[in-house]
A and B are shown apart, each in its own frame.
Chain A
Amino acid sequence: MRKLLKYLADYKKESVLGPLFKLLEASFELFVPLVVAAIIDKGIANGDYAYILRMCLVLVALGVIGLVCSITAQFFAAKAAVGFSTKLRHALFSHISSLSHTEIDRLGTSTLITRMTSDINQVQAGVNLVLRLFLRSPFVVFGSMIMAFTVDFKCALVFAAAIPVLALVVFGIMLITMPLYKKTQKGLDGILLKTRENVVGARVIRAFSKEEDETAEFKADNEALVHVQKFVGRISALMNPLTYIIINAAVIWLIYKGAVRVEMGELSQGMVVALYNYMSQILVELIKLANMIISLTKALACGNRIADVIEVKNSLKNGSAKQGVPDAPAVEFDNAALTYSGSKETAVEGVSFKAMHGETIGIIGGTGSGKTSLISLIPRFYDVSGGTVKVDGVDVREYDIAALRGKIGVVPQKAVLFKGTIESNIKWSGEDITDAAAARAVHTAQADEVVDGKDGMAAEVEQEGRNFSGGQRQRLTIARALAKEPEILILDDSASALDFATDAALRGAIKALPYNPTVFIVSQRASSIMYADKIIVLDDGVPVGMGTHRELIRDCEVYREIYYSQFESEATDNG
C-alpha cells in the first residue's frame, strides 16, 4: 500500500489541506458546548437577553465557518482521491499491458480485471474517506476529552477512563467479527459458484437426474452460510448496546461527580451541561469511526492487491535489433526448449529446424503435445529455457520486441475481435494499412461473405466480437493477421471452426499470396498440413518426426497413426 502513495504525490497540497480544513471544522464544533455553557452560566443566570442572542449568533457563526471549512475539505479530498485513482488506474493499466505472457499466465486475467476496476474504486473511496474523516473522528474524541479537561480536571478523568474502555469494545468486536465476515464472504462465493454451475451445467444435471441432489447440497451450503451470518450478526449486534451502556454509565458517573463539585462551589451548572455534551459528541463520533474502519480495512486490502500487481516485473528484457540478416532462414530453431515458469516439466524441448522464406511448415501432434508452445517462441511470447530461436538470422532476444512482432502475423486459437467496426479490426495492427490491403486480406481469409453478410466493412463489432459466430470470427482474425502483409504468418489451429472445403480454399489462397510469407500451420487435422513443405510431428513435447508427408508416412510411426486415424487406409482397421 505504501508503494501506491507515490501516486498521491501530485496531490500533496490537496492531501494536506483536506484534513487540515476538516480539523478546523472539528475544532470549531468543539467550542459549541462551551458556548452553551456560557449561555447557561452567564446569559440565563443574569437574564441577559442580549448576551444570549450574541452567543446564539456565535453558534450560527461557528456553523457557517464549519460549513465553509468542510466544503473546502470535501473539495480537496475529492480532488486528491479522484486524481490519485486516475493516476493509479493509468499506471496499473500500462503496467499490466507491459507484462509478458509468463506473468499474464501466472496472475490470470480475471483477477487483473477486478484489480483494475473494483479494487481501484474501493481504494479511491478509502483515500477519500481517510482525507475526510480519519483525522476528524479521533480528533473529536480526544479533543472532547481535552476540552473536558479545560472545563474541569477531576470530572474529565471520567473521560480518560471511558475512552479506553470504549476503544476496547469497538476494536474488540471488530477484531472478532472481521474474520467471520471473511468467512461469510467465502460462503457466499460458494453458493454463487454452485448457482452458476447449475445454470451452466443444466443439461448434464438433468441428463443424470441430479436435480434433487443438487438442491439438497445448495440448501445445506445456504443453511451453513446463514448460520455463520446469524452468529456474526449476534456479535456485531452487541456493538451499539455496549457502547451505549459505557457512555451512559460515564454520564451517570460524570453527573454525580459534577454534582459533588458543584456543591463545593468548584463547578457551575452550565459546565456540567458542557461536560455532558462532550460525552454525547464522543458517542456520535465513535459510531462513525467504527463504520469507517470497516471500509478502511477493505480499501487497504484492495490497495495491497493492486500493489502486488505493480510489483510484478516483466521478465522479458527488450533488445535493440530492428532488422535481420539478409539471406538467413526466416525462422531457425536450434535445440530450443520451453519450460513454463512454475512448471517442473518442459512443455517442448529439443526442437531444431530451419524454415526458409516462403516455406510452409506444418506442426501436428496430439492434445497437449506442445504445438502452441513451439510456435509461441517465434514472436517471443515466452523466452526459451534452452537453445535459441532466430528470426531472419538474429536471436529473437536481441530484437526490439515491437520490431520482431511487426514481422509476424499471428492468428491465435481463440478467435476474438474487439469493439469497433470490421474495418477497425482488420486494420488493427497499424493505421497505415490501406483499404485495398484490407480488402485483399479479407478476400484471402475467405471472409468476403462475412463482410458482405454484415453490411460491409463499417459494420459494428460488439465487445469481443460477440455478434459474430465462431467461424466468422475465425476468418476475420485471419484477415486481421494478413492485413499487414506479414513476413511470417502463424495459424494456430485457426481453421477448427471452418469446414473442410473452406479450410482448403484458405490454404490455397495463402499459398498464392504475392508477398510470399513463411507460414506456420498448427493443426490436429492431417488434411490441413499434409501439403506443407515440412511437417514437424510432436509427441509429448518432443519432435518425433520431421519431413514431408511422404517421408513421414514412411518413417514416422506417430505421424502414420495420426494420419490413418483420420483417413481411410488398407493398412489399419479402426472399427
Chain B
Amino acid sequence: MADVTNRSTIKEIWKYIRRYRIYLVISIILAAMTVALTLYVPILVGHAIDNIIGPGRVDFSGLTAVLIRIGVVIAVTAAGQWVMNTVNNRITYNVVRDIRDEAFEKIERLPLAYIDSHQSGDIASRVIADADQFADGLLMGFTQLFTGVMTILGTLFFMFRINIWIALVVVVLTPMSLLVAKYIASRTYDMSKLQVKTRGEQTGLIDEAINNLKVVKAFSRERKTVEEFDEINERLYDCSLKAVFFSSITNPATRFVNNIVYAAVAFTGAAAVCGAGFAGAITVGQLSSLLSYANQYTKPFNEISGVITELQSAIACAQRLIGLINEPPETEDGTEVIEDVTGGVDINNVSFSYTPEQRLIENLNLSVKPGQRIAIVGHTGCGKTTLINLLMRFYDVNSGEIRVDGKDIRSVTRHSLRRAYGMVLQDTWLKTGTVRENITMGRPDATDEEVRRAAVAAHSYGFIRRLPDGFDTVIGEDGGRLSQGQKQLLCITRVMLCLPPMLILDEATSSIDTRTEISIQKAFASLMKGRTSFIVAHRLSTIREADLILVMDSGRIVEQGSHSELMKKNGYYARLYNSQFKL
C-alpha cells in the first residue's frame, strides 16, 4: 500500500524533474566521470610510488610522467565536480520553485471549505518547510546517493583489477558496518521515539504557559508551572541522554569495522606483495592504492544509510506537497460577466450545510430589493456568517439558488460577482505592505486624492496621518502594531474607496468604539445611498435603522420585519433587545 503511493509520488515528482532532464543527463555523466577519475588517482599514486623503490632506484622520467598525469586528472575532476554540483543545485532549486509556484496557485483556487477546515500553519508549512526538506533530500539524493553507489561500484572494479582475493576480503567484511549501523538504529528507535514524544509534550507546555504567561502571573501560578515543567524536563533528560548516546555509538562502531577491514587489507596485501602463493603478486604502490580504496569503499556505505532515511522523509514531504497540489479546486466558474449591478438579491429555497450530518440552512427564502438595508441578528452559530459565505459564493448552495439582478450566481464569473460586493469582516485581514497598498487593493488605480477622501470618510485619516510615513507606512505581519480597531478602520477605508453596488458588513465595527462607529455609519449611509447592504452585528443599536431585520436561529429565519414591527411583535427580537436594559 505504502509502496504504491510512494511509487505514484515518485511519478509525480518525475513530472517536475523531467523539464530539466538535459541537466539530469549532464549530471549523471559528470558524476560517472568524476567518480571514475577520483578512483583513478590512487592507482596513479600507486604507480608513482612504484617508481621510487629505494636509493638510486628512482625512475624520474617515469615519475614525472605519472605526476603530470595526476595533475591533469585532478584538474579535470575538480572542474567536473564543480559543474556537477552547480547543475545539481540548478535542478533542485528549479524543481522546488516550480512545485512551490504550483502549490501557491492552487492555494488561490482551493475551495474555502478546504481552507476553513485546515490549519493555516499546516498549509503554509507544506509549501515552505516540506518543500525545503524535499529540496534537501533531492539534492542529497543527487549528490550522495548516486556518487556513493558509483564509488562503491568503481572501487570494486579497480580493486578486483588489482587483486581478486584482497577485493573479496573487502567485499565480505564491509557489509558488517551496515549491519552494525542497522542494529544500533533499531535499538535506538524506541528511545528516540520516546524522546520526540517527551519533547512534544514539553513544547506543548511551553507554548501554553508562555503564550498565556500573563494569566499564569495573574494567578501567581509561576512556581506550580515550573514544577510541572521540571517533571517533564527530568524525564526528557533521561530519554534524551539514552537517545543521544546510543545513536552516537553508530559512528565509532562503523569506524571500528572500517579499521578491521583496513587491517585485513594491509595483511593480505602485504602478504601478496611478498609473493604469498594464495594471492598473486602486487607491488607496494598497488598496496597503497588498495589501502586508500579500502577507506573510500566503506565511506559511501556509511553515508548511504543516512541518505536513504533522508530520501524517505523527502518523499513523505513531497507527498504532502503534491497532495495539496492535487486537491480538487473550486467548482466550475460561470461564464457570464455581470456589470452595473443594481443590487436585487433573491434567495430561493436555499439549503446548505457544511457537513451532511449537521443541517444548517434549510429552505431559506428572501427577496431583497435594490438599495435595501438588511440586518441579520441571532446567537452565535445561527447561520449569519454562513449566509454571507453563500452570497459571496465562497461556498456553493446544496440546493436552491441565489440570484443577483435575476441571474443565478453560479452562471456568472466569481470575479464579477465578488466585485459587485464590498466586504468588511470581523476578522480584519491586512497584507504586509504599505497602508496605501492595503487601501487600494480593490482599486489599484485610485488617485491620492481619492484615497485621502476615502480615509476621511472612514475616519482612518486621523491615525494614518500620525503614522511615521503616513500612507506609505509599512504594516507588518498581521497588521503589525495597529490596534484591532485601527485595522477595522483600514478595512472599511478599503471598501469606501471601491464603492461597490452591494455591501456586506460582518461585525465590521465590533472593535471600534460606539461613537466612532456612528460617524462611520453616517459616512456609509451617505456614500452608499441606493446600494444594497447586508449587516451582521450583535450590537442592536447598529441594527435598528435597517429596512429589514432578519432574526435567525439554527439556520432558519424566525422573525423578519423592521425594528418597530419586531418590537411590537414582542417575540425573540424584542427579548434580545430588552436584555440590554435589564440588570
Contacts and interface: CB of A to CB of B under 8 A. Distances in A.
B513 A367 contact: yes
B447 interface: no
Interface stretch (A85-93, A165-173, A323-331, A386-394): A85-93
Interface in A207-235: 207-211, 214-215, 218-219, 222-223, 225-226, 229-230, 233-234
Contacts of B79: 241
B67 interface: yes
A272 B248 CA distance: 35
Interface in A31-75: 32, 36, 39-40, 43-44, 47, 49, 52-53, 55-57, 59-60, 62-64, 66-67, 70-71, 74-75
B124 A196 contact: yes
Given A77-B248, A196-B120, A198-B107, A464 B211 contact: yes
Interface in B535-583: 538-539, 541, 544-545, 575-576, 579-583
B418 A209 contact: yes
Contacts of A245: 74-75, 78
A462 B74 CA distance: 62
B86 interface: yes
A562 B515 contact: yes
Contacts of A100: 217
Contact of B226 (A94, A198, A203, A414): A94
Contacts of A104: 213-214
Contacts of A379: 218
A90 B229 contact: yes
22 contacts: A49-B274, A53-B267, A82-B244, A90-B233, A93-B233, A96-B210, A191-B100, A192-B127, A201-B429, A204-B491, A215-B104, A226-B94, A234-B86, A260-B58, A272-B52, A277-B292, A405-B220, A414-B212, A471-B380, A524-B513, A567-B541, A575-B525
B446 interface: no
Name the 8 nearest CB pairs between A and B, nearest first: A366-B513, A63-B259, A265-B55, A237-B85, A233-B89, A241-B78, A367-B485, A59-B263
Contacts of A446: none
A208 B418 contact: yes
Given A194-B104, A255-B48, A366-B513, 11 more contacts: A59-B262, A101-B217, A113-B210, A222-B104, A241-B77, A244-B74, A256-B67, A280-B295, A367-B485, A499-B579, A574-B518
Contacts of B54: 262, 265, 268-269
B219 A429 contact: yes
Contacts of B266: 36, 39, 52, 55-56, 59
B89 A203 contact: no
A570 interface: no
Interface stretch (B149-157, B234-242, B346-354): B234-242
Interface in B17-60: 41, 45, 48-49, 51-58, 60
Contact of B124 (A195, A429, A500): A195
A139 interface: no
Contacts of B218: 379, 381, 405, 408, 410, 412
A229 B494 CA distance: 37
Give chain A's interface secondary structure class.
helix
Given A241-B79, A244-B78, A527 B512 contact: no
Given A40-B287, A209-B415, A229 B93 contact: yes
Contacts of A210: 441
B206 A273 contact: no
A199 B120 contact: yes
Interface in A144-202: 188, 191-202
Contact of A82 (B241, B259, B270): B241
Interface string A422-461: 0000001100000000000000000000000000000000
Q: Which of B93, B251, B494, B575 has the most CB of A within 10 A?
A: B93
A140 to B, nearest CB: 13
A561 B121 CA distance: 43
A-side interface size class: 35 or more
B173 interface: no
Interface in B172-193: none
Contacts of A311: none
A280 B292 contact: yes
Interface stretch (B108-116, B397-405, B448-456): B108-116
Nearest to A572: B518
Given A40-B287, A256-B63, A567 B263 contact: no
Contacts of A276: 45, 49, 288
A116 interface: yes
Given A471-B380, A504-B583, A562-B515, A241 B81 contact: yes
B366 interface: no
Contacts of B523: none
Q: Which of A63, A369, A511, A567 has the most CB of B within 10 A?
A: A63
Contacts of A66: 252, 255-256, 259
Interface in B59-93: 60, 63-64, 67, 70-71, 74-75, 77-79, 81-82, 85-86, 89-90, 93
B90 A222 contact: no
Nearest to B253: A67
Contacts of B541: 565-568, 574
A314 B233 CA distance: 24
B271 A406 contact: no
B363 interface: no
Contacts of B74: 244-245, 248-249
Contacts of B279: none
Given A67-B256, A101-B217, A366-B515, A192 B48 contact: no
B248 A74 contact: yes
A464 B208 contact: yes
A57 to B, nearest CB: 8
Q: Which of A210, A414, A500 has the most CB of B within 10 A?
A: A500
A74 B431 contact: no
Contacts of B94: 226
